[in-house]
Amino acid sequence: IKNHLAYRLGQIAVTNSKTIGGYFRLPFNLIKEYKQYNQEQKNYQMIIKLNPTLALPKLQDYNDYQEAVKIKKYFSYRLGEAIIQAN
């Protein structure tokens, strides 16, 4: 769940909001993370096409699913979702 785009963007927003310089770098860091996430997703899809057995299971199938549900309630995750929806 910590690899979801929402969590990653929210984490960057929280981290960069601690300093004035961070506020100025925030848009650039968000764009950089978004591009990196998209590249990772393209690579993942290519790997899955070559070898479908490497596909990650659904979130509900993990043993620590309840922990993932808790993480989705974190401020950083919700902030990341808001950033995505605002775009």
Within 10 Å of residue 34's Cβ, how many Cβ atoms? Answer: 17
**Residues written for the chain:** 87
Integer Cα distance of 77 and 51 in angstroms:
31
> Which pair of structure tokens corresponds to residue 8?
């990653």
The residue ranges of every structural domain in the chain are 5-86
- Selection from 66, 70, 76 nearest residue 7 by Cα: 76
For residue 57, the surrounding DSSP H or E stretch is: none
Contact assessment for residue 9 and residue 87, using Cβ atoms and an 8 Å cutoff: no
Per-residue confidence of the chain (87 residues) as pLDDT tens digits?
Answer: 889 999 999 999 999 999 999 999 999 999 999 999 999 999 999 999 999 999 999 988 889 999 989 999 999 999 999 999 997
